[in-house]
Homo-oligomer: A and B are copies of this chain.
């Protein structure tokens, strides 16, 4: 029996495929299925051809597949590429007189919509029809429709319900597809990677979010704005990426935690702030959403291309930590880790997100706030009442200078973008310089001990090792599973802490491995370069993808098998 069904809905921007995708996902979730849904946009403007792929399953779904079980076109335009991906026994749904032939199901969607009152109901009719195909309970949509259409009034709600029912009747009695028994999961949310990060932001006690309102940051701004209605939070649509990080640094100087979100070349406008964080030792957490570059590139697509630039951008030398979450769950856990490390060490921490993970919708149990260790202030309440002297850049044996906040005591807090003495005053003295550089460098040593080792997946005694990072985690795991089913001895090493990497903690995996494969969603094998720099590791094969689309198990396997030929 099938474990998952992949539905691809394509349409022209403005036809509301995002709305229908949302409603469908919610409905399937309520009916107890696992959900995994990704968008493929060519443009953010209402107008271009966009598509959404919703996978529903009876087990957790963690990655996108290329194959399509149900292909639906709202514009009746089907790309050849998509048609070729429809599996044996799959279904193609188009608008037209009702007919079912050679796997193509035409339904009078527009006609029925007009019959329900307006062409606009076409989405709802389709939703009903899909529910019918899956034999879901049509009444289960009542609640979600209520929420969706509440603002528009009871009439709109009723009309939509009716339209859904009309669609439902078209398909409920026929068995177009193999039946998929729901898993009956409960208490799950449908969230994107971005959502996970926002929950962790708020969970960590962070009270400010600054972002230039770029398209991919919309979700961060919108969700954080919702929180700000009930919590003391400021969510600022900043006038530029540079202003976003310096506002964040200003807030952080006062002791309020801060998150900054940027994407593509917007990252370049942050680097001044990163270097400043390095010098001033004001902590900051930044989420960088990657899309294909250079420059503006393809802002609606995905890539893993800011690894080396995240590590090395900024003038001069300073400690930083970089995480690249691989799953929705890790978006949550690495974000609160980011706040912890950033606050403890007074450094900038980057969450290197990929567009695909930022926007993919998935079901997940609600996060548990108890998992979060909220970072502590460096001075306890008691210490605050006792402290008599304060030096912002006090030289200590950990390199960490405890942070006091302006207004917290009677002692002034002095912070500088110039090199400074321990008091925070500008200095160009050679000896003071050496002390402060050494102090800052000292932090790097302790940070190295907090390295989160990569996850190993596969057989202990492997011949072939796949190495990957970030959002390709589950895709590579799937590849390992598939190759193991072919009796290959395969393992995978999946990184989420990208910098610094502790070479001692990874050496053992590479020592006697016969064939090491690097898998990256970029064109220059950035991670392979990094591992060579850090651990002298040489790869036998690079599997790279840089056409704007995410890695898939099929893509990796094809490239792997081509190379092994």
Residues of A within 8 A of B (CB): 41-43, 48, 264-265, 267-269, 271-272, 275-276, 278-280, 290, 292-301, 303, 305-306, 308-309, 311-318, 417-419, 428-431, 433-434, 437, 441, 522-524, 526, 529-530, 532-533, 536, 538, 546-549
- Shortest C-beta distance, A8 to chain B (Å), equals 16
Query: In the assembled complex, which residues on chain B have CB atoms less than 8 Å from the CB atom of A280?
Result: 295
- Shortest C-beta distance, A314 to chain B (Å), equals 6
Bound-state CA distance A362–B490 (Å) is 62
Contact A265 B306 (CB under 8 A): no
Q: How many copies does the complex hold?
A: 2
Bound-state CA distance A508–B533 (Å) is 20
Contact A419 B297 (CB under 8 A): yes
Contact B298 A419 (CB under 8 A): yes
Contact B268 A298 (CB under 8 A): no
Query: In the assembled complex, which residues on chain B have CB atoms less than 8 Å from the CB atom of A434?
Result: 546-547
Indicate whether A293 sits within 8 Å of B316 (C-beta atoms), given known contacts A269-B272, A529-B533, A546-B434.
yes
Bound-state CA distance A305–B428 (Å) is 17
Query: In the assembled complex, which residues on chain B have CB atoms less than 8 Å from the CB atom of A271?
Result: 268, 271, 313
Indicate whether A279 sits within 8 Å of B297 (C-beta atoms), given known contacts A314-B268, A315-B265.
yes
Contact B275 A265 (CB under 8 A): yes
- Shortest C-beta distance, A543 to chain B (Å), equals 14
**Residue of B269, B279, B290, B547 touching A294 (CB-CB under 8 A):** B279
**Residue of B41, B293, B315, B429 touching A297 (CB-CB under 8 A):** B315
Contact B303 A309 (CB under 8 A): no
- Shortest C-beta distance, A346 to chain B (Å), equals 13
Indicate whether A272 sits within 8 Å of B265 (C-beta atoms), given known contacts A298-B418, A308-B312, A419-B297.
yes
Given contacts A297-B315, A313-B313, 7 further A-B contacts (CB under 8 A): A264-B315, A265-B315, A268-B314, A279-B294, A293-B316, A434-B546, A536-B536
**Residue of B293, B300, B428, B546 touching A301 (CB-CB under 8 A):** B428
Query: In the assembled complex, which residues on chain B have CB atoms less than 8 Å from the CB atom of A548?
Result: 419, 428, 430, 433
Contact A275 B292 (CB under 8 A): no
Bound-state CA distance A42–B430 (Å) is 10
Contact A547 B433 (CB under 8 A): yes
5 inter-chain pairs at a CB distance below 8 angstroms, sorted by A residue, are: A279-B294, A294-B314, A294-B315, A299-B418, A433-B548
Contact B311 A312 (CB under 8 A): yes
Bound-state CA distance A523–B318 (Å) is 10
Contact A309 B315 (CB under 8 A): yes
Query: In the assembled complex, which residues on chain B have CB atoms less than 8 Å from the CB atom of A312?
Result: 308-309, 311-313
Bound-state CA distance A318–B42 (Å) is 23
Bound-state CA distance A200–B429 (Å) is 35
Bound-state CA distance A275–B546 (Å) is 17
Bound-state CA distance A495–B402 (Å) is 42
**Residue of B431, B441, B523, B546 touching A547 (CB-CB under 8 A):** B431
Closest to A293 in B: B316
Query: In the assembled complex, which residues on chain B have CB atoms less than 8 Å from the CB atom of A296?
Result: 279, 417-418
Interface centre among A269, A272, A297, A546 (most CB of B within 10 A): A297
Contact B313 A294 (CB under 8 A): no
**Residue of B294, B418, B533, B547 touching A317 (CB-CB under 8 A):** B294
Query: In the assembled complex, which residues on chain B have CB atoms less than 8 Å from the CB atom of A526?
Result: 317
**Residue of B295, B316, B417, B538 touching A276 (CB-CB under 8 A):** B295
Bound-state CA distance A317–B267 (Å) is 14
- Shortest C-beta distance, A424 to chain B (Å), equals 13
Bound-state CA distance A530–B314 (Å) is 17
Contact B295 A417 (CB under 8 A): yes
Contact B546 A437 (CB under 8 A): yes
- Shortest C-beta distance, A512 to chain B (Å), equals 19
Query: In the assembled complex, which residues on chain B have CB atoms less than 8 Å from the CB atom of A303?
Result: 316
Bound-state CA distance A548–B275 (Å) is 18
Contact B419 A292 (CB under 8 A): yes
Closest to A429 in B: B42
Query: In the assembled complex, which residues on chain B have CB atoms less than 8 Å from the CB atom of A290?
Result: 315
Query: In the assembled complex, which residues on chain B have CB atoms less than 8 Å from the CB atom of A546?
Result: 433-434, 437
Query: In the assembled complex, which residues on chain B have CB atoms less than 8 Å from the CB atom of A533?
Result: 529-530, 532-533
Contact A42 B428 (CB under 8 A): yes
Bound-state CA distance A264–B530 (Å) is 25
Bound-state CA distance A559–B317 (Å) is 21
